[in-house]
Amino acid sequence: MSEIGLAYGIASVNFVFDENQFSILSNQSEPRKALSDAEIGAAFDLPIASPPLDDIVLPDDSVLVVVSDATRATASAQIVNLLVRRVLQSGVSPAKIAVIFATRIHRAVTAQEKIDLLTPFMAQRVKTIDHNAYDSGRLISLGTTARGTVVKVNSALKEFTRVVIVGGIGFHYFAGFTGGRKSISPGLASAETIEATHMLALDFEAGGRKAGVGIGLLDGNPVHEECERIAEMITPAFSINVVVDQAGRAISLFCGDWRVAHRAGCDDYLSNYSIDIPSKRDLVIASCGGFPYDINLIQAHKALEMAAQACNDGGTIILLAECREGLGRPDFMKWFEAKNSRAMEARLRESYEVNGQTAWSLLTKTERYEVFLVSKLPHEEVRRMRFVPAATLSAALAQIGRNDGYIMPRGAAVLPRVLS
């Protein structure tokens, strides 16, 4: 018998299993050593398809650093600390440096989260800017993309001479990958612009997802391509794309041109975090990877998407997601008034909302699989979303009555792919 700890919030759930019955799906090649400050500095000096940071930032520049919010693990405390120090060494005045949090349509970053994301030193000494996708007074128009998307973004993006984006690379269930261009859109875009880009994931004529949309897909992906068109309107001066380990420490860094460096990081991530499996199984036990990946249900859904790649139709998925901040949006539950996913899709066609698409994607999983949810959410809410609530992993397993399948310790980080 073997034992594994499955992350749940900031704690862990121990699971004892028979290795003859369960297989663990994880990235075995992940380096155990986090990048040192010196190694990160070396990446700044040897960027991809770009001059070094020191050659880009001049003394008379003003610099805006774009950082993800608390729903993303990007090792930003270490990265931004080193980045800002490097900018200061280039002669830029501290008064001309600011950090903005790419919150999309999420809630604002709290004071404590700013400290955690930037370190106490940086949070106290560098100006921080909050983004609000609904605040028209802080949004500016950049025009319209070739595809017809009306683009409005945070005005700070045009108030600084240099924009540096810092983001984490991981799988995304319809944009292909996180990071890169997503720091601008949806990160700092208006709610309307975010909706316009996210709508491109759905095929309202044929139903379901559009061709080219999916996990690990960039070429021909309309969502990714539109987000790149919007980022091109800003043309970030430098990008830092981070891959983190289970503890949220930086283990790989892809710096340089905002488009080329991000693509290089995505290619590397796909190679290292895809797991070939001989076949799908009837049971998948998936942890989101703990906090912040299971901070709320909207974020936890991403692990469910990955678990579905390893589960047979009609099979069972047990999702461990603490959801300490609930659903993620106070209006999320309204979507589950729909009779089924088809009715929900029709509602989206009539009145699209970003989180409605997440609700639709979630409902297509609970219709296709039996999904047990181990969380802190009220059981009544869980049932309304068509999950089966379970107080513990053991309680869920007791209801299933089977003891073989896959275990995914970092559900959102690994893509299972059936060998052809």
pLDDT digits (tens, 9 = 90+) for 150-195: 999 999 999 999 999 999 999 999 999 999 999 999 999 999 999 9
Confidence check: pLDDT of 30 > 70: no
Nearest to 331 by CA among 362, 304, 298: 298
Determine, yes or no, domain membership for 375.
yes
* Predicted confidence band of residue 358 (pLDDT cuts 50, 70, 90): very high
Determine, yes or no, domain membership for 236.
yes
What does the alpha-carbon distance between residue 341 and residue 333 come to, in Å, rounded to a whole number?
14
Residues 299 and 261 in one domain: no
Backbone angles phi, psi at 24, to 5 degrees: -90, 130
* Predicted confidence band of residue 32 (pLDDT cuts 50, 70, 90): low
Confidence check: pLDDT of 29 > 90: no
What does the alpha-carbon distance between residue 168 and residue 78 come to, in Å, rounded to a whole number?
13
Domain residues for the domain of 303 are: 2-27+278-418
Determine, yes or no, domain membership for 229.
yes
CA dihedral 119, 239, 37, 87 (to 10 degrees): -70
Residues 257 and 365 in one domain: no
Q: What is the pLDDT of residue 28?
A: 62
Residues 230 and 261 in one domain: yes
Q: What is the pTM of this model?
A: 0.93
Residues 330 and 203 in one domain: no
- Of 214, 246, 271, which residue constitutes the final position of a domain? 271
Residues 239 and 139 in one domain: yes
For residue 4, CA distances in Å to 19, 33, 91 come to 11, 21, 50
> Could you tell me the CATH number of the domain that includes residue 345?
3.90.226.30
pLDDT digits (tens, 9 = 90+) for 218-269: 999 999 999 999 999 999 999 999 999 988 999 999 999 999 999 999 999 9
Residues 89 and 214 in one domain: yes
Residues 88 and 22 in one domain: no
Residues 183 and 300 in one domain: no
Residues 42 and 90 in one domain: yes
For residues 71 and 344, which has the higher predicted lDDT (pLDDT)?
Answer: 344
Determine, yes or no, domain membership for 209.
yes
Determine, yes or no, domain membership for 284.
yes
* C-alpha 191, offset from chain centre: 18
> Could you tell me the CATH number of the domain that includes residue 152?
3.40.50.11440
For residue 92, CA distances in Å to 99, 144, 175 come to 14, 33, 35
Indicate the number of domains in the chain. Answer: 2
Determine, yes or no, domain membership for 385.
yes
What does the alpha-carbon distance between residue 161 and residue 277 come to, in Å, rounded to a whole number?
48
Residues 171 and 66 in one domain: yes
Determine, yes or no, domain membership for 32.
no
Residues 68 and 152 in one domain: yes
Residues 253 and 284 in one domain: no
Determine, yes or no, domain membership for 77.
yes
Q: What is the mean pLDDT of the chain?
A: 94
CA dihedral 200, 203, 208, 212 (to 10 degrees): -60
- Of 240, 271, 302, which residue constitutes the final position of a domain? 271
What does the alpha-carbon distance between residue 131 and residue 293 come to, in Å, rounded to a whole number?
21
- Of 241, 271, 301, which residue constitutes the final position of a domain? 271
